[in-house]
Structure 1
Amino acid sequence: CDHCEPLFNDKPFRAGDQLQAYSCRPCQCHGHASSCHYEHALDPYPGEHFRGGGGICDSCQHNTTGLQWKPPNSPPSLHTTEEFVYPEIGGQCKCKRHVSGQQCNQCQHGFYNLQPSNPDGCRACNCNTAGTVQADITCQQDSGQCRCKANVIGLICDHCNFGFKFLDSSNPEGCTACNCNIHGSLHQFCDPFIGQCQCKDHVHGLLCDTCMPNFYGLTSMGSCWPCSCDPAGSLVGSTCNPTTGQCMCKSGVEGQRCNVCREGFYGLAWGNPQGCLPCLCDPRGTVTGPDSCDTTTGRCRCKAGVEGLHCSHCAPNFFNLSAGYGSAGCKLCPCDPTGIISGTTCDMVTGQCVCLPSRDGRDCAVCRPGFFRPASGANGCEPCECHPVGALSQTCDPETGQCDCSHPSVAGRRCDHCQELHFGFNHSLG
């Protein structure tokens, strides 16, 4: 592509640029020659490409002759600069500046609207080569419409079509689609120069594809909604996730809006750096699982037999708080109701019941030494009352009350009289 074809040498070859194609111009041989050449001396405007011409036909055929073939009896055009032709160059009329053709009856490449009143004959197309197909500078001869790329509009192909942006000479289609986000933009049109789409409320970004700070949900919900993060439970200065709406919670807080205390925390408050306070439930006495602590009061949910704000001690009549009892945190006190002082309970650590003076044992179920439970079925224990002389000690059998007599000759439950066939028991000496 560095020289003109044989019949296109009316002007010397000239490489095109971004504004003009400088297409090779045909010689006026009218099919009576197979080639032509350019003569600088015969060109009235050798310094211009679209005006004048110096093409000489080679080896004229069909009984023709002349520098350029001229049909006989052709009248001069209204668009010549003189009212005569040059017979010495084959009948070529002297055309106005932007007119071409042997009879000066057509606009040059890159010009249109041939008018007698125009001193130059035709108006420049002024096609924007960034927007024309193959950087074409020519336009429709009557309307001046340039040949636009697919996504370009305008008489001179200087505007992107609606919904397109960034007119670019290197783009084979001229302009790029706006690609406005269908959820975040009001329509699919954008500013053709900067590409800014027209966004809905609470949406921003060149393509209207991002929620403004403190809003979320454009991709997941189709519009942007307020984050509504709880200031007491969310980190200071933070915002929510623009897709899910999840706020950034303090360590003791959870929930999308950071408005709920986590399991094991309670009392959501503005001034707390953790958001919520730890419940401090005693694991030995607290029921495990959800809702183990009231998120408002901090009261723990206690196992059977356990009480207290933190489930840290046994309830009355229970003892020995331990994690090894399953659903029960403390054991039931084993006190014998007949052997304890009324209204008392056992020690919550040892389980020792508060016994009557006559009872003994952790559960107060046995009689103390020196007491026995009568066979008559009475609930209480009675004193042994062993004779201080006739008995070896003041203790007796806890079931029968029989004292241990000091001599085989002594008899009686209390060892207070002589056996049969014996006499002389002295209450002072035995």
Structure 2
Amino acid sequence: MGNSPRPGLWALEKSTDYGKSFKPWMYFSDSTHIKDISIGGRCMCNGHADTCDPADPNADSNILYDAGVDEKHQSLDIYGRYEGGGVCQNCQHNTEGINCNKCQPTFYRPSGKRWDEIDVCQQESGRCECRKEFNPPNCDSCAYGYFDYPNCKPCTCNLNGTEGQHCTPTDGICPCKYNYAGQSCEICEDGYYSAQCKNCNCDTSGTEPSICDDVTGQCICKLLHGGTRAGACVRALRVRPRRLDRRQLLGRRQVQLPHQLWRQAVQPPNFDSVKCDRCREQFYNYPACEECNCDPRGVVASFAGCGSVPAGELCQCKDRVQGRICNDCKPLFWNMQEYNPYGCEECRCHLAGTLGGLGACDTRSGQCECKSHVGARTCDQCRDGFYRLQGDNVFGCTRDCDKQSGQCRCHSRVEGRRCDRPIRAHYVPTLHQYQFELEDGVTQSGPVRYRNNEDTFPGYSWKGYVLFSMLQNEVINVVQIPKSSLYRLVLKYMNPLPDNVRATVIITPESVVDIQQK
């Protein structure tokens, strides 16, 4: 040991089997006094806490053993057993609980997320978390591949072979595509092969009724015919018979030979090499070998292709975009566009008019979830027949009339069940409420020249009518409008000439703060 100091705490172990195993024999300490007792327990923290140790060993509140938890068998240890009283300390990633197995308030765990994932707890969006057999966002209909709402039983159809990729939502019948057959559209129609039921391209004049093999696409030729049109994916076919001493028997799937020893290798379309141990060019993530079909609207501008992202990933999405191929907006966003650097724009829902005051909208149309009496994309307008949008109104807006009596809510100085008459001592002005005559006006040089010939201007009013000419091309009327409001200007005139005449009406207010209208 040399001059090495003696350790403060150490144990001496012994072996009775010549060094194969050791057991503690004696324990040594430089002090016989007990300074601290820490009761520990094994616990499983799902990767959200490094250890069960408290962050501050001097703080009594940060214990790592709880007798109550131990008694109720609530702590999961590292061996998958609910034993011991270990409690995880300082859970991260928005988790909490004995084993960091709960989400903190305002966070939720999406369906399918494992507790050992970093983003297992995500901030709530307020949207319903639908089961796979129901359609989002309200879970009020069956998803593709399911039928008979609200039971939503799975279809027995081969979804690839059915029209629309789903069965009929009421009775579950499978409408097959033209190249599929069977009760569940699970097999290819004669003349088609492979899982995608591609056309065999055989010359049917020389084939058997079944036309081709439904796996390889090999044409099934009649006797005295041969060859294939399918360009089959068969890479190797080796037949090593001892002796051919009988006639070959032709079948749909194989050729029967005596004493045959043969092997057939089929190469999947997305793989390369004879051993199928790597993906073909333009396919990624072996052994899945996915096509690089990222949505160009949802990937970042610096995206250099599927081969540039870490293994297991396919596309690199913009901030507000999600999905395996970056083809869907995140909750609270919609209208994915390629020119948008964030991918999608905010819903901007008017929370006073949305159900539950939520800001989520449809990621495709941008339509917010409006209350029953509220409309518009952002739920910021009352529907026809309603008014006064309020956030504390469960329906959003109030009816214009009483639902019992039918009494409408009238403006001031208006009465009647339909608000169709003025109150006493009031009247509704007409278009002729204020009537002014041009013959009462003036010109720059003096009084207005006017005439009163009924033959020239039948039905004229007041004293006559004014003639416009080179001598009189402007008339000024000084009028008094007692109340500011929206008025309609009606002119009564006659043009005896065949050509149109352009006239200008200028309204000049008395107040200097008002605006001249022309």
Q: Which has the higher contact order (CA 8 A, sep 6+)?
A: 1
TM-score scaled by structure 1?
Answer: 0.30
